[in-house]
Structure 1
Amino acid sequence: MTTFEQIQEIIVDQLDKEQEEVQRDTNFREELEADSLDLFQIINDIEDEFDIKIESEEGLNTVGDIVDLVEKQLAEK
């Protein structure tokens, strides 16, 4: 399972969306209607899943933004 697929699964579960709705270029607030609490929970789940720490949700507008950040952190481990 790729990093994207793992993150996609977390988002689908958290926001009760269909897998097709969650793509790399999907915007959290505009397309998935996620509020800051949703995003906070998604980030917590991702941190637990990958054993990393995401310092800020600033600049994380799309699913791809989070995937890139996670992959960068995993590469630095």
Structure 2
Amino acid sequence: MSSTFEDVKAVIMDVMKIDGDEITMETRFVEDLKADSMDQFFLIDGFCEKFGMTISDEDARTIRTVADAVHYIDSHRS
């Protein structure tokens, strides 16, 4: 797995207060992790902080899975 995946996973574990054993690239934030709107906000905020980037509200709406987050971060890093 990529280091981006491991870092995204660490943010998810911290924000959602869960064990990361079952987090995969296919994991969906809402359906699988039961993330509500505040959880989603804190996940995006956590990704921004961890990776030193800004994710627009419009882009944040397209990040629905772990893979979406990893691909977005990898393609938008400065």
Verify same fold: TM over 0.5: yes
Match for 1:62 among 53, 61, 65? 65
1:17-63 superposed Cα distances (whole Å, 9 cap, x missing partner): 11122111001001000011101101111101111111132121101
Residues in 1 aligned to 2:54 and 2:43: alpha-carbon distance in whole angstroms: 13
Identity of aligned residues (%): 29
Residues in 1 aligned to 2:44 and 2:7: alpha-carbon distance in whole angstroms: 12
Would you say how many aligned residue pairs link Structure 1 and Structure 2?
Answer: 75
- Listed as ranges, the gaps of 5+ residues in structure 1 are none
State the Cα RMSD in Å: 1.2
Where does 1:23-42 land on structure 2 (aligned, <5 Å)? 23-42=24-43
- Listed as ranges, the gaps of 5+ residues in structure 2 are none
